[in-house]
Structure 1
Amino acid sequence: MRWTIKPKPESQKVKTLQEALHVDELTASLLIQRGIETFEEAKSFFRPDLSELHDPFLMKDMDRAVARIEQALEAGENIMVYGDYDVDGTTSVALMSSYLRTRQENVVTYIPDRYDEGYGVSFKGIDFAHDNDFTLIVALDCGIKAIDKVAYAKEKGIDFIICDHHRPGDAIPDAAAVLDPKRDDCEYPYKELCGCGVGFKLIQALSSKQGFTIEDLGEYLDLVATAIGADIVPITGENRILAYYGLQVINDNPRPGIKAILNQVDKTEFTITDVVFIVAPRINAAGRMKHGTYAVQLLTEMDEKQAETYAAEIESFNLDRRETDKEITIQALNQIEERSEQDRVTSVVFQEDWHKGVIGIVASRLIETYYRPTLVFTKSGDKLAASARSVVGFDVYNALEACSEHIEQFGGHKYAAGLTLLPENYEAFKQAFEDVVSSTIDPKLLSPEIKIEANITLEHITPKFFRILKQFAPFGPGNMMPVFMTEDVVDTGYGKCVGKEEDHLRITVKQPNVNPIVCIGFGLGKKIDSVSSKVPFSIVYSIDENHWNGVTSLQLKLRDLK
């Protein structure tokens, strides 16, 4: 682990903000590190307001999208809502179809089969629409590169409205409307919406034409917050506002499908982290192990009893997914070790019978062991399909673009992408990817970095300070949970390894004249010897709460120690 302490903010800025907000120096510094320097900026940060969301009509083609949907509703056209099989896609489809069904009945949903059709808009989906007299397809979280598919649909008399957030290619599909804040010609002020966020802006625009306000759309925000968390988009700007209010819906009055998932865990208050680790994997499991339609069915179900049944079914998919990805991860690690590829700057592994639904998770697991850009391939029809994952600071999408002569198709983001290629091109691609990455990556990016916001003593850690920190939430990219360093702590002598395999570390640390505080370090069990020698050591951590036997106390969540 590389420990990097962020530069201290300018002292005069800290002092000015301290006086404006009546807060301590540390709190003011943390805010300035997040770009918050004035009272007004702090007010927006701590008290997000739906009124601060941008006018949806600032998005390129929004007027065209609204006009085409209104035309379809007035004429009673059959509308298909089409979306990808991951969390962002299925929540988008649930959101858009739920809204459109408040306006008319003849709306159907379509999620492509991960194995039969692959990612994005498919010819099979368009044929289904044509065979069943659908004249408008609203595609969410996909479609920005579907130029040939949109043209094919047009020949069959079907219009497309695309709501995407992925990077466009050189050309934009010839659709009735293409909503994507990442279009070069789109001047929408916030570029980091997820697919479900773009879909929400569309229903915001549609409902405004009916005289409704943003407050009338609260029931959809649990879906938007779930997509924001799962798609790991920055929780800044509009995403922060949507996630903040979406979490309120999740905690106070979630839709039956999300409520049924939350009922499966012993918890009462949910954060964006809980959405990422509890809700998202279960929704994703449907598309990974069976079919994304199961997730849409759960998320649109209004009967609580039926939702419980659907959630139980999806939980069984999730248990299968866990077993499968664990098994494949072991096989993939063995491949790397058997081929003595530990010294490469990339991990590229392939086995034709690996489950396509979990290769993205496996790629992330491999990065936990070998911290480098990673691709996991499996057989998909007569081609090979892969999921790519990257390390912080390295753009894997650009690396794939540089290897595009060997690739049939690819798409995605800076840190996660998917691709297909012909089997005969695999070895050439593997070498090209290694060459591109090794020639472009900064070597320091090959060891994980912990960014530390401040070096503090244990006396800073008080219930009052933690209450202020909690108001920095929701946390995520662009607003990560603050990480601190404290030097010269010693263990009180009760340090031990805990967990089923004793791979976690539980210690109690102290400094002179300060009450001892408990620390838990997941995966740090091997460092027990570093703390039991009575020699002072340094810790890096975030501050957390521990609930035990009805008692709540502060604890430190260790990231590393040395």
Structure 2
Amino acid sequence: MRWKLKPETNPEITSKLAKELGIEYTLAKLLVQRDIETFDDAKNFFRPNLINLHNPYLMKDMDKAVYRIEQAINNNENILVYGDYDVDGTTAVSLMASYLKKIHPNIATYIPDRYDEGYGVSYKGIDFAEDNNFSLIIALDCGIKAIDKVAYANKKGIDFIICDHHRPGDKIPEAVAILNPKQIDCEYPYKELCGCGVGFKLVQALATNRNETINDLVEYLDLVATAIAADIVPITGENRILAYFGLQVINENPRIGIKAMIHQIKKDRLTITDVVFILAPRINAAGRIKHGNYAVELLTEVDFDTAIKLASEIENNNNDRKDLDKNITAEALQQILENKEHENYSTVVYQKSWHKGVIGIVASRLIETYYKPTLVFTKSGNKLAASARSIKGFDIYEALVKCSELIEQFGGHKYAAGLTLKEENYQNFKNKFEEVVKNSLPEELRTPEIKIDAEINLSEITPKFYRIINQLAPFGPQNMKPVFMSSGLRDNGYGKKVGIDENHLKLSIFEGTNQTTYNAIGFNMGKKHALIQQGNSFKATYCIEENHWNGYTSLQLLLKDLKKEEN
């Protein structure tokens, strides 16, 4: 691990802010790192308010989208709500359909089959719309690259409204309206909405048009928060407000489908991390194992008993997904070793029998082992399909652009993408991708980095200190849980390896001459046990968390890494 301490940006502003807020310098420093430099900035940050959401009509084409939907309602047209099969897509479809059904009876949903149709807008979906007399399709979390598909729909007299957040290409589809803040000529102030977030802005605009207020839309924010968490978008600005209030809805008054999932996992209060690792994989599992329709059914269900049955089925899907993920990861790791490819700059693996629904998860697992830009391929029809995942600082989308002559189709973000190619191009693509990564990946990025917010003394860690840190939540990209570093640490002699395989490290540490001890846990850090033995001095990076045990709550350090103290 590379440890990188964030530089001190502006000590004067930090000191002034600490004084105005009556908090420790370190806490003010955390705020300044997040571009919160004044009392008013801090007030807005610590007390998010829905009135600070932007006017949806600032988004390019919003007026056209609202006009076309109102026209469809007035003309009693059939509207098809179409979305991707992942969490962002299924929550967006559930949100849009739930709202529109309140004001118009002729609403249906469509999720493409991951295996039969693949990602995004499909010809099959447009044919379905034509066969069932739908004259308007609202596409969510997809569509920005669907130039040919939208042209095909236009010939059939079917209009498209596209709500997407993926990076646009040089050309955009000829749709009635395209809502995507990442368009160069879109002046919407916040660019990092997820697909469900863009859908929510359309609902907000429709609601405004009908004299409804933002308070009338709070019930939909559990879906928006789930999508924000699952799609790993920045938790800044508008996303932070939506996630903050969405988490409140999840914990206090969630929709029936989410309530049924929480009932299954038997957890009291969910954090944004719980949404990422507990709710999102279950919603995703429907599209990975069976069909994304099951997720939409669950998220739009209004009867609790029916929702419990659906949630139970999805739980089974998730267990199947876990088994597939574990087995395919083991096979992929074996393939890398057999082909002696672990020294490569990239990881590219292929097995025709691998389940297409879990190759993205497997790519992430391989990065945990080898920490390289990774692609996992499987057979999909008469082509190969891959999920791509990247490492911090490396733009995998741009790397794929440089290999585009060998690719049939691709799309995605800086850190995650999907693609298809002809089987005969696989080896040439693999060689080209390795060459691109080798020539464009800086050497220092090949080692995982821990960004440290501040160096502190253990004595600074108090219940009040932790309470204020907790108010920075919800945490996520660009608002990560603070990571601290402390030096001159020693274990009190009771440090030990724990867990069935002794993979983890449990310590009780103190600093310098201060004999106050702090409990610490380091998952998968059992190998570092020797560092802390015999009174050795060491330094640590860690987050602070609450530990609940036998009805007693205490603060503990969640270790990120340990290093021997340098003389």
TM-score (normalised: structure 1): 0.99
SS at match of 1:281: helix
Contact 1:21 1:39 in 2 (8 A): yes
Moved more, 26-35 or 497-506: 497-506
Confirm whether residue 453 of structure 1 aligns to residue 453 of structure 2: yes
In 2, the alpha carbon distance for the partners of 1:260 and 1:515 equals 44
Gaps of 5+ in 2: none
Q: For 1:446 and 1:453, how far apart are their aligned partners in 2?
A: 21
**Aligned match of 2:89:** 89
With 488-497 and 364-373 compared, the bigger mean Cα shift is at 488-497
Cα distance between partner residues in 1 of 2:501 and 2:477? 31
Match of 1:19?
Answer: 19
- Distance in 1 separating the partners of 2:133 and 2:292: 23
**Structure 2 counterpart of 1:218, one-letter code:** V
Please provide the CA RMSD for this pair: 0.8
For 2:120 and 2:531, the matched residues in 1 are separated by: 50
1:385 aligns with: 385
Match of 1:41 in 2: 41
Cα distance in 1, alignment partners of residues 240 and 515 from structure 2? 36
Which residue type is aligned with residue 202 of structure 2? L
The aligned amino acid for 1:529 is: A
Counterpart CA distance in 2 for 1:411 and 1:206 is 29
What is residue 561 of structure 1 aligned with on the other side? 562
Aligned to 1:275: 275
Q: How does 1:115-264 map to 2 (within 5 A)?
A: 115-264=115-264
Determine the C-alpha separation between the residues in 2 that align with 1:496 and 1:260: 40
Aligned residues: 562
Aligned match of 1:428: 428
- Please say if 1:305 is aligned against 2:305: yes
Cα distance in 2, alignment partners of residues 88 and 265 from structure 1: 21
CA contact (8 A) 1:141 1:194 kept: yes
**Could you tell me how far apart the structure 1 residues matched to 2:309 and 2:500 are?**
31
* Aligned pairs for 1:496-507 within 5 A: 496-507=496-507
Question: By how many angstroms is 1:150 displaced?
Answer: 0.4
2: CA distance between counterparts of 1:426 and 1:226? 36
Distance (whole Å) between structure 2 residues aligned to residue 209 and residue 398 of structure 1? 40
The residue that corresponds to 1:355 in the other structure is 355
Q: Which amino acid aligns with 2:290?
A: K
Change over 3 Å in CA distance of 1:506–1:266 after alignment to 2: farther
Query: What is the alpha-carbon distance in structure 2 between the residues aligned to residue 190 and residue 391 of structure 1?
Result: 25
In structure 1, the residue matched to 2:541 is 540
Alpha-carbon separation, structure 1, partners of 2:304 and 2:472: 33
Deviation at 1:503, TM superposition (A): 1.4
Structure 1 residue 527: Cα displacement: 1.2
**How far off is 1:497 after superposition?**
2.1
Please say which of residues 14-23 and 458-467 is displaced more in the overlay. Answer: 14-23
Per-residue deviation, residues 280-337 of structure 1 (Å, max 9, x unmatched): 0000000011100000000000111111111110000000000100000011011111
Query: Are 1:417 and 2:401 counterparts?
Result: no
Aligned to 1:405: 405
| Distance in 1 separating the partners of 2:521 and 2:300 | 39
Supply the distance in 2 between the matched residues of 1:244 and 1:364 (Cα, whole angstroms).
27
Per the TM alignment, residue 514 of structure 1 is displaced from its structure 2 partner at its CA by: 4.6
1:329-344 matches, cutoff 5 A: 329-344=329-344
1-side partners of 2:120 and 2:345: how far apart? 30
- CA deviation digits over 1:87-141, x for unaligned, max 9? 0000000000000000112111100000000000000000001001011100000
1:342, CA displacement in angstroms?
1.2
Aligned-partner SS, 1:279: helix
2: CA distance, partners of 1:266 / 1:115: 33
Distance 2:489 2:266 in 1: 34
Q: Deviations over 1:364-401 (max 9, x none)?
A: 00000101100000000000000000000000000000
Secondary structure of the structure 1 residue equivalent to 2:323? helix
Q: What is the one-letter code of the residue matched to 1:546?
A: N
Cα deviations by residue, 1:248-267 (Å, 9 ceiling, x for unpaired): 10111001111111122242
In 1, Cα distance between the equivalents of 2:335 and 2:313?
34
CA offset at residue 269 of structure 1?
A: 1.6
Distance (Å, rounded) in 2 between the aligned partners of 1:80 and 1:306? 24
Q: How far did residue 495 of structure 1 move?
A: 1.7
Cα distance in 2 between the residues matched to 1:12 and 1:132: 65
Q: Deviations over 1:470-518 (max 9, x none)?
A: 0000000010000001111111222222223321211111123252111
Rounded to whole Å, the distance in 2 between the matches of 1:366 and 1:429 is: 19
Distance 1:231 1:248 in 2: 19
**Aligned runs of 1:309-324 on 2, under 5 Å?**
309-324=309-324
Q: What SS is found at the alignment partner of 1:263?
A: helix
Q: Which residue of 2 aligns with 1:346?
A: 346
**Aligned match of 2:444:** 444
CA contact (8 A) 1:459 1:514 kept: no
Q: Is the 8 A contact 1:458 1:514 kept in 2?
A: no
- The answer for the alignment partner of 2:526 in structure 1 is 525
Give me the whole-angstrom Cα distance separating, in 2, the residues matched to 1:97 and 1:267.
28
CA contact (8 A) 1:236 1:478 kept: yes
* 1:133 partner letter: N
The Cα offsets for residues 519-558 of structure 1, whole Å up to 9 and x where unpaired, read as 1111111111222232011111000001111111101111
In structure 2, what is the Cα distance between the partners aligned to 1:143 and 1:505?
47
**What per-residue deviation string (whole Å, max 9, x for no partner) do you get for residues 442-490 of structure 1?**
1111110000011111101110100000000000001000000111111
Q: What SS is found at the alignment partner of 2:265?
A: coil
After superposition, the C-alpha distances for 1:327-351 in whole angstroms (9 at most, x for unaligned) are: 0001101111111111110000000
Deviates more, 1:21-30 or 1:238-247: 21-30
What is residue 293 of structure 1 aligned with on the other side? Answer: 293
Aligned residue type for 2:45: F
> What letter corresponds to residue 58 of structure 2 in structure 1?
L
Task: Please tell me whether the aligned partners of residues 94 and 296 of structure 1 are also in contact (alpha carbons under 8 angstroms).
Answer: yes
Q: Which amino acid aligns with 1:427?
A: Q
User: Matched residues, percent identical?
Assistant: 65
SS of the counterpart of 1:63? helix
Corresponding residue SS for 2:490: strand
**1:534 corresponds to which letter in structure 2?**
G
Structure 1 partner of 2:57? 57
Q: Which runs of 5+ in 1 are unaligned?
A: none
Residue 268 (structure 1) shift: 1.3
Aligned partners of 2:165, 2:10: CA distance in 1, in Å? 36
